[in-house]
Amino acid sequence: MVGAALPDVIDKPLAMAGVVELYHSVGHSVLLVGVAVPIALYSRAGLAAAIGWGSHLFLDAFHVVVNGRGTDVLSLAWPVAAPPDPLAVPPGSFVFHYVGSRSFMLEGGLWLLAGLFALAHVRPDTGTESPGNVK
């Protein structure tokens, strides 16, 4: 989970402090792959962190493409490239922008399906899998 949160833990405070202009910069840069690979090769925890970081970048890229802002994927090449017209919305205001987006609807649907799956396969009294669902 540390690796998955790391890009935002790095970038959000830097942007809020005015150190960088974009909320996707240092931690979201694929140029860090040179750091991530040796960490991943060092230990299982390093591998988990690198996978979390990589999945975060992939899902952020997927998110902006689904919302019709494909050029924002260029932020992954920071500082070599940046989106031509980044969505300059601070995190607090972004919530209101995001609620009406296509990816919010997609993610909401996925959460709903996951919840329905959990309800169908877990007994509420014990939190264990229902006997009828055990293979």
DSSP code string of the chain: -HHHHHHHHHHHHHHHTTSSS-SSSSTT-GGGHHHHHHHHHH-HHHHHHHHHHHHHHHHHHHHHHHTT-GGGGGGGGTTT---SS-----HHHHHHHHHTSHHHHHHHHHHHHHHHHHHHHB-TTTSSBPGGG--
What's the pTM? 0.67
Q: Domain locations in the chain? A: 1-87, 89-129
Mean pLDDT score, 69-84: 81
Identify the pLDDT of residue 127.
60
Mean pLDDT score, 8-25: 86
